[in-house]
Structure 1
């Protein structure tokens, strides 16, 4: 199982991001991921690519509706060139016009790949979709360029049944969140497999990746306090209903939402230890390592998702990141140790 980590950038000085990526690289982790928040994930990977040697670099997620397919395709090529072929393009829909995210994302992936095909070969068929289109340029406004790879793996953030089927049919990987091993085996994997089978593909062609909240501290109480804030924020979103119902904790989620209307973030303090453990890797380093082992054989790729939401501070997020890298270092190198 590959092991990755997300870089908490919400309140962090962007000049810290390359250092975060370098720590993960030196610790022997497989991938490091940036997020589309108030800050651009592409620029974070660009700076990270210059100070890392071998670690995969991914957007987890970049919002499709914020950029044209041609722009996203070119951004991905840039990172792939800067990093020597280490880019992973993770996409999410964002605010999709006319409430047709399935059509929008299907066309978006198609047109990205047509752009890559044209850039790599000089030839690609025309494409005329409802939201996105592609035509070979009449004039070479921009010169074609060499690509490190003819194509870059596209990961799709998917929750609903139809989007999960499309992962199997068209994407190179799935990015999931708020999942448990049983939920993936019973609710996610069958739909991805169904989509793959419909397209004549093998599941070996789909990297099953889950981002799991990871909060590690030598002080177990500190870890649980940070975890409650991170998980509480995410459980306010309606997409958490399905996994919460699956594990029998939906009533607690509904109660949390009611409390949050009047108490705000203070409501997170009432989240039970059971709910925290269900949706996160949390506790001391030894406890966290034991929890990660539970994911072996469930997914291909586990990404440690570091807390970043308000009311957590930049210092708390960085401390959580440093602790996670130190806990899961495969090389003996740790941000907690001098070089």
Structure 2
């Protein structure tokens, strides 16, 4: 379990911005002590490699990575290549996030055997970066003997993050990953659940469960006007509440509330949907309010043993204002509390 001072603070950026915006936000985060900058790999947004390379060129300290790529829309050898490129561009600061991917049916991509796909993708990436030319014969992916990258790599083993909620995905992370990310959660009660779900895989691999850092990340809206921040967060959470509520075994969400929220969202009434979400439920699935409120939420996660808290988009009433408040007010509060 992480100690009280053993944690990282991250921000997660949506890849919907213009060239130059990522460099500015990355510099802002780094200058004010943020540890990790992630870029989401969501369907129909810009591929994360473009923002990440821009941030790499504009920074010198923060860790960087996509959260997450998937082995269905991108072949494992290409994932290895993008990771190698980012690690070179950042001088060894890259990490790789892998997940099964969401909504790929909308672009006609099937997702058979997701755990096998993730495990084999991780193995192919590992072998390519390590220069292992012995070959790999998996059930979904393979490497012919002698296959190798034809360019230099910065590190043979950049850190691997697996994005997962469920027991089988967490067990895989326990076996092969450095971190597991539970996306869409700000719930401290999930931390011991995730730790126990990691345990079978960690024990199978002869590792300690504490070798795998737990990352929780969610929609974040921080502003001096706490009420406005929470109102915006409610709208954001309403759009994915039905999905994450079913994934969290510790959350007791009335079925009739979910039905009403989904109906309002389907009708395009996001404000009305958000108003249905009570404060205690909002705090399970988003960081929101004043800097003091958001820091208190994050502190509860750190106290529960999270290794990294990731503050996700939209960050604030504007991206720049939110990232600035996270970096200059929320992060210092957390660091001060840890001392």
Deviates more, 1:89-98 or 1:286-295: 89-98
Contact 2:100 2:111 survives alignment (8 Å):
no
Deviation by residue 1:176-199 (Cα, 9 ceiling, x = unmatched): 1233111221x2110101210111
**TM-fit CA distance, 1:16:** 0.3
The whole-number CA distance in structure 1 between the counterparts of 2:175 and 2:97 is: 16
Q: 1:259 maps to which residue?
A: 264
**TM-fit CA distance, 1:326:** 2.7
1:158 aligns with 2:171: no
The whole-number CA distance in structure 2 between the counterparts of 1:250 and 1:58 is: 36
Secondary structure at the counterpart of residue 14 of structure 1: coil
The whole-number CA distance in structure 2 between the counterparts of 1:233 and 1:318 is: 23
Contact 2:136 2:145 survives alignment (8 Å):
no
Which of 71, 74, 88 does residue 81 from structure 2 map onto?
74
Could you state the TM-score of these two structures normalised by the residue count of structure 2? 0.86
1:272 aligns with 2:281: no
**TM-fit CA distance, 1:209:** 1.1
Q: 1:3 maps to which residue?
A: 9
**TM-fit CA distance, 1:246:** 2.1
The whole-number CA distance in structure 1 between the counterparts of 2:19 and 2:238 is: 26
The whole-number CA distance in structure 2 between the counterparts of 1:172 and 1:190 is: 16
**RMSD across aligned C-alpha pairs, in angstroms?**
2.2
**TM-fit CA distance, 1:30:** 0.8
The whole-number CA distance in structure 2 between the counterparts of 1:34 and 1:85 is: 17
Contact 1:178 1:240 survives alignment (8 Å):
no
The whole-number CA distance in structure 2 between the counterparts of 1:61 and 1:316 is: 24
Contact 2:98 2:160 survives alignment (8 Å):
yes
The whole-number CA distance in structure 2 between the counterparts of 1:153 and 1:222 is: 37
Deviates more, 1:247-256 or 1:15-24: 247-256
Q: 2:290 maps to which residue?
A: 284
Which of 167, 173, 182 does residue 173 from structure 2 map onto?
167
Q: 2:19 maps to which residue?
A: 14
Secondary structure at the counterpart of residue 87 of structure 1: coil
Secondary structure at the counterpart of residue 106 of structure 1: helix
Q: 2:3 maps to which residue?
A: none
Which of 318, 330, 333 does residue 316 from structure 1 map onto?
318
**TM-fit CA distance, 1:263:** 4.2
Which of 119, 127, 131 does residue 106 from structure 1 map onto?
119
Deviation by residue 1:93-135 (Cα, 9 ceiling, x = unmatched): 12474631111111111111111122xxxx4321122221112
1:34 aligns with 2:39: yes
**TM-fit CA distance, 1:329:** 4.7
1:79–1:26 distance in 2 versus 1, CA, 3 Å = same
Contact 1:306 1:321 survives alignment (8 Å):
no
Contact 1:169 1:199 survives alignment (8 Å):
yes
**TM-fit CA distance, 1:211:** 0.9
Secondary structure at the counterpart of residue 66 of structure 1: coil
Which of 246, 251, 255 does residue 247 from structure 1 map onto?
251
**TM-fit CA distance, 1:60:** 1.3
Q: 1:57 maps to which residue?
A: 64
